[in-house]
Amino acid sequence: MLIPELIAAQARAEEIVAIEAIAARVLPECTILSKGARGLFLDRLQGLLIALAKDEFGGQFRYERARGTGDRGRIVIEATPAVRDPRGRAQSWQAQQRRAERALRRGSRKEIPGQLSLDDLADRGGLAEERKNIDSGGHDGAARPL
Amino acid sequence: MERQDLFDALSDAMRGAVPDDALGGRLGPGRVKSRLLEAHPAERSPDGVEHLLKQVAEGGGLTVQRVGDELWALLGSDEAFFVDGLNPRFWLLHTTASAERLRRLLAQHLLPSPRLDRAWLTGQQLLELDGERRWVRSSFDSATLQPHESGATVPRRWRVQVEGENPDELLELVSCTERYRASAALTAVASVIASPAGGAVEVAADYQGGFVASGDDFHTVAGVLWRALDRYEAYVQMLEESYRLTTSASETMGLTVEGEVATIEFAHEVADLEALVANLFTCREPFRLWAVPREVRPGQWEANAVDLHVGHRLRLELTSRWLRVLLAPETCGNSLARLLANLQHRFDARTQLAPAVAA
């Protein structure tokens, strides 16, 4: 769900997307999480976005650090097939599919799938598991598999 | 120019009585071609419509002029297109330019915009077109989604036009026969409507929101188009109200999910599910869907997709028996309308949504 969210932003020809906005779309439950769980989720999302921007989606978007203390930074979209010549646009979107496939393959090898599946999350214990980690102080702050 | 003045000028054009210098010679005589478009201006207001029109038309060498209230002319060197944006989401575009010129404008400048799409009319909406039916057309082509279809269960290609008295009845008869019912999709209809001046107009409509009118009075045609627009708007709004899935925090339940999953029970089993999955997500017309589908268990696929028209997300889950579509809270209803209309013309004419369960 994370990569489609980025693709959707590209399709809308958006230039900037806040991490919080991506989080709210990827996981609507985000709004009812405790502050700690929400922070944990945002940490992970941020880590995944930075990794995607460095690897498969390099040149497509970049992560920009927050300027203030209250926000999480943002994604700046640097290129999008949506503004390309219509004659080559479908091929450009298909290239995005190939990038996403590579990211997902890499993700499944390292157990860091870019496509955040709520089903997967549920299979692994879901947010309840996250809460357990927080309650037990088990979170080490590193980006973990989503 | 008032809207009535435009309709008078288009009536003249339909009668072949348009002055040579009308709009600098850009308004020629002939049939009026109209298109019903679904638009997402940044702001649903006349200014929003104008801004979007300038974005999409000026790149195509057309000058955008506001010629009346919520009425714009797109002027090229030899032709004029009029956009009636009285409804800022559902526009009507009219022209007497050649069909080829209109096709190019749509294909090269308007429809590539993520903010514009065709209207995708259902067979029922086509049947509701006013007037006495003159002809009906049915076409079907399974090559896009089932390229290896043998033709034994579903005819691979089909194109037929029935003219005469009550042509709807003959198509209905064909759609009841086992051999042809999967391909008898209603593609276009034409009707004759009496005009107040004692004459008549003929209006043809197709499932992609295209209209062609001839006769003596565009005012009568405009009424037909407005009623088609109203029905289409109600349809898209119904899809959005029924099938958008929204979540809200609740004190007692934690999280409340509202909305229905749009479910299609396929009328015949998909022979080649992998081909259907591969060809749904090619990022091309007509489906315009981006996704990296994955097989979650043998014979069941899921895809977190993006509708490249408007850039909204939707999730599709499918097997050879059914398709489920989960719309995000902001997903445009036109995405579902497009999917449905194209499955009817490319997979099975009987494809329809299971009725939403009332809350």
Question: Residue B18 — pLDDT band, cuts 50, 70, 90?
Answer: confident
Taking CA atoms, what residue in B is nearest to A9?
B311
Question: Are the beta carbons of B310 and A101 separated by less than 8 Å?
Answer: no
Q: Residue A32: give the domain boundaries.
A: 2-135
Amino acid at site A86: P
- Rounded CA separation B14/B212 (Å): 11
Kindly give, in sequence order, each residue whose CB lies less than 8 Å from that of residue B298, ignoring residues fewer than 6 positions away. Answer: none
CA A113, chain centre distance (Å): 10
pLDDT tens-place string over residues B118-163: 999 999 999 999 999 999 999 999 988 998 877 777 888 889 999 9
pTM for this prediction: 0.87
* Residue A97 placed within a domain: yes
> Rounded CA gap, B341 and B208, in Å?
9
Q: Does B40 touch chain A (CB under 8 A)?
A: no
Q: What is the pLDDT of residues B23-59, one digit of tens each?
A: 888 898 999 999 999 999 999 999 999 999 999 988 7
If contacts are CB pairs under 8 Å, which of residues 312-331 in chain B contact chain A? 312-313, 328-329
Q: Could you identify the residue written with the tokens 């579509």?
A: B325
Q: Which of B292, B310, B312 lies closest to A97 in CB terms? A: B292
pLDDT tens, residue by residue, A65-118 = 877 666 778 999 999 999 888 888 999 999 999 999 998 887 654 444 444 444
pLDDT tens across A49-63, in order?
Answer: 999 999 889 999 999
Angle at B329 between CA A27 and CA B91, to 5 degrees: 145
Cis ω before A145 (30° cut-off from 0)? no
* Per-residue confidence (pLDDT) for residue A69, from 0 to 100: 63
d(CA A110, CA B151): 45
Which residue in the set B247, B282, B312 is minimally distant from A8, CB to CB? B312
Q: Do A11 and B108 touch (CB under 8 A)?
A: no
* Residues B56/B40, Cβ–Cβ less than 8 Å: no
Short-list B104, B7, B10, B2, CA closest to B57: B104
DSSP string, B149-182: --SSSS-SEEEEEEESSSHHHHHHHHTTSTTTTT
Domains B3-118 and B243-346 share a fold: yes
Enumerate the residues of chain B whose CB falls inside 8 A of the CB of residue A99. none
Q: Does B117 touch chain A (CB under 8 A)?
A: no
Q: Are strands B254-258 and B71-75 parallel, antiparallel or unpaired?
A: unpaired
| A87 assigned to some structural domain | yes
Question: Distance from A113 to chain B by nearest Cα, in Å?
Answer: 13
Q: Which residue of A has its CA nearest to B305?
A: A4
- Among all residues of chain B, which has the CA nearest to that of A81? B308
Q: What is the mean pLDDT of chain B?
A: 92
Q: Give contacts of A7 with chain B, Cβ < 8 Å.
A: 290, 306
| CB A74, CB A18: distance < 8 Å | yes
- Options 3.30.160, 2.30.29, 1.10.3470, 3.40.630; CATH of B243-346: 3.30.160
Residue A12 placed within a domain? yes
User: Whole-angstrom Cα distance, residue B257 to residue B245?
Assistant: 7
Range with the largest mean pLDDT of A17-31, B1-15, B207-221, B344-358: B207-221
Cβ–Cβ below 8 Å for A4 and B254: no
> Per the CB < 8 Å rule, is B308 touching A119?
no
CB B106 within 8 A of CB B35: yes
Nearest Cβ partner of A31 from B108, B249, B282?
A: B249
Q: Cβ-count burial of B234 within 10 angstroms (0-12 exposed, 13-18 middle, 19+ buried)?
A: exposed
B290–A7 C-beta distance less than 8 A: yes
Cβ-Cβ contacts under 8 Å between A and B: the total is 74
Cα dihedral sign, B58-B61-B65-B69: negative
**Residue A128 located in a structural domain:** yes
How many Å apart are CA B302 and CA B305, to the nearest integer?
9
Question: ∠ CA(B142), CA(B148), CA(B152), 5° rounding?
Answer: 75
Mention every residue, 6+ apart, whose C-beta is less than 8 A from residue B172. Answer: none
User: Using the beta-carbon criterion (under 8 Å), do B291 and A4 form an inter-chain contact?
Assistant: yes
The CATH code of the domain at B3-118 is: 3.30.160
Count of domains in chain A? 1
What per-residue confidence (pLDDT) applies to A24?
85
HEC profile of A21-69 = HHHHHHCHHHHHCCHHHHHHHHHHHHHHHHHHHHCCCCCCEEEECCCCC
Domain segments of chain B as ranges? 3-118, 243-346
Closest listed residue to residue B50, CA positions, set B67, B33, B36, B35? B67
Q: Is B332 on the interface with A (CB under 8 A)?
A: no
Residue A141 lies in a domain: no
Would you say residue A144 lies in a domain? no
Nearest Cβ partner for B292 among A14, A89, A101: A101
Nearest chain A residue to B107 by CA: give it. Answer: A86
| Domain assignment of residue A31, yes or no | yes
A140 inside domain = no
Task: Indicate the residue of A13, A29, A117 with minimum beta-carbon distance to B255.
Answer: A29
Best residue of B111, B304, B307 to probe chain A, by most A CBs closer than 10 Å: B304
Residue B307's Cβ-count burial label (10 Å; 0-12, 13-18, 19+) is buried
A20 min Cα distance to partner chain B (Å): 17
Structure tokens, A68: 């203030």
Reported as a pLDDT band with limits 50, 70 and 90, residue A140 is very low
Q: With residue B3 as reference, give the H or E element that holds it.
A: helix B3-15
Residues of A in contact with B292 (CB under 8 A): 3, 97, 100-101, 104, 115
Please tell me which of the candidates B247, B284, B292 has its beta carbon nearest to residue A28: B247
Q: Which burial class, exposed, middle or buried, applies to B359 when counting CB atoms under 10 A from its CB (0-12, 13-18, 19+)?
A: exposed
